[in-house]
């Protein structure tokens, strides 16, 4: 795991701070700074307000940071209203406007950095062509999800999908058409699974899924449904294709070794492909994989029923 510098650790912590907790912390801190500013007006609490706006913009972003900047501008103008009675309303208005410009500019700058950070973070975790998780992030998150499921005794479904005869698309219609097919396929995958499920591009035209399932029995239905829906979507595309799918059911008592589980799912996918393509092969992680042709035929019969 990458080691963060102290400033990097602070940035990560603020970025992932829950919004409710961030708002609570901001209200508490801004109240404390305002009390100190009114109690000790000659100390000068401006730098602390600036730090608060920076933290708020990084944690909350957008409109929230500008609201906080306005509140801070008003709070820093109030001591002048209370303690310098001879100041005219025009001068007070100028003071307030100067603070609004200053604090608002800080909020704008930090929001700009935040958007850049979001873009780079997205690019570091996503496949640039399809928008699915890249293979490194998929493996990392899948490993954590599988370990967590083992502790909570939750079954999982690990799926590897491969487009059939994808090279023919590149050869016949060009790489642009192949890229469009991959993007459409990735979009279709994301559309038929839940938001919390993992969708990753493992390489080339091979994709991986990891889903939570209520039970092993229902996981089989999930697998067949996914393949059926994907097959329908692929058949309706500009360049009709089929896909081969290996589905590995992971009961709570099964191995938690990610490499072994990925290998088993990959083997199931190749069995589906070698059995004639456009099929799904469903296996269990707690049982030896049947390498016989009859086992593949049974799986294909289930698919077509």
Average pLDDT score over residue span 36-42: 79
Whether residues 273 and 204 share a domain: the answer is yes
pLDDT at 136 over 50: yes
- What was the pLDDT predicted at 85? 59
- Asked if residue 210 is part of any domain, the answer here is yes
- What was the pLDDT predicted at 226? 92
pLDDT at 43 over 80: no
The proportion of the chain whose per-residue pLDDT surpasses 90, expressed as a percent, equals 45
Instruction: Read off the pLDDT band of 173 (50, 70, 90).
Output: confident
Domain around 257:
135-304
Whether residues 228 and 294 share a domain: the answer is yes
Whether residues 172 and 23 share a domain: the answer is no
Q: Answer with the one of 98, 125, 152 that is the final residue of a domain.
A: 125
- Asked if residue 54 is part of any domain, the answer here is yes
Domain total for the chain?
A: 2
**Cβ neighbours for 177, distance < 8 A, ≥ 6 positions apart:** 169, 170, 238, 239
Average pLDDT score over residue span 61-68: 90
Whether residues 148 and 100 share a domain: the answer is no
Structure tokens that stand for 281 in this block: 């092969």
Average pLDDT score over residue span 18-24: 92
Average pLDDT score over residue span 259-282: 91
Whether residues 184 and 149 share a domain: the answer is yes
Instruction: Read off the pLDDT band of 67 (50, 70, 90).
Output: very high
Structure tokens that stand for 240 in this block: 């009709």
């Amino acid at each position: 795991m990458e080691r963060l510098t102290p400033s990097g650790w602070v940035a990560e912590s603020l970025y992932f701070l829950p919004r409710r907790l961030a708002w609570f912390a901001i209200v508490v801190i801004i109240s404390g700074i305002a009390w100190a500013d009114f109690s000790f007006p000659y100390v000068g609490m401006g730098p602390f307000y600036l730090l608060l706006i920076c933290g708020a913009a990084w944690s909350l972003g957008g409109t929230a940071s500008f609201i906080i900047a306005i509140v801070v501008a008003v709070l820093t103008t109030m001591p002048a209203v209370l303690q310098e009675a001879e100041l005219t309303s025009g001068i007070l208005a100028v003071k307030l406007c100067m603070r609004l410009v200053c604090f608002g500019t800080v909020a704008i700058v930090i929001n700009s950095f935040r958007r850049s950070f979001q873009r780079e973070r997205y690019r570091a975790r996503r496949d640039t062509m399809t928008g699915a998780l890249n293979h490194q992030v998929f493996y990392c998150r899948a490993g954590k999800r599988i370990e967590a499921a083992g502790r909570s005794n939750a079954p999982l479904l690990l799926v590897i999908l491969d487009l059939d005869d994808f090279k023919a698309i590149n050869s016949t219609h060009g790489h642009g058409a192949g890229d469009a097919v991959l993007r459409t396929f990735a979009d279709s995958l994301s559309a038929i699974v839940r938001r919390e499920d993992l969708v990753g591009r493992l390489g080339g035209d091979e994709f991986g899924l990891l889903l939570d399932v209520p039970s092993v029995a229902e996981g089989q239905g999930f697998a067949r449904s996914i393949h059926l829906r994907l097959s329908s979507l692929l058949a309706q595309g500009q360049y009709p294709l089929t896909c081969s799918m290996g589905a590995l059911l992971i009961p709570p008592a099964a191995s938690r070794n990610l490499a072994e589980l990925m290998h088993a799912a990959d083997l199931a996918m190749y069995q589906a492909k070698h059995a004639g393509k456009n099929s799904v092969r469903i296996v269990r992680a707690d049982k030896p994989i049947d390498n016989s042709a009859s086992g593949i035929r049974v799986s294909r019969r289930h698919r077509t029923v």
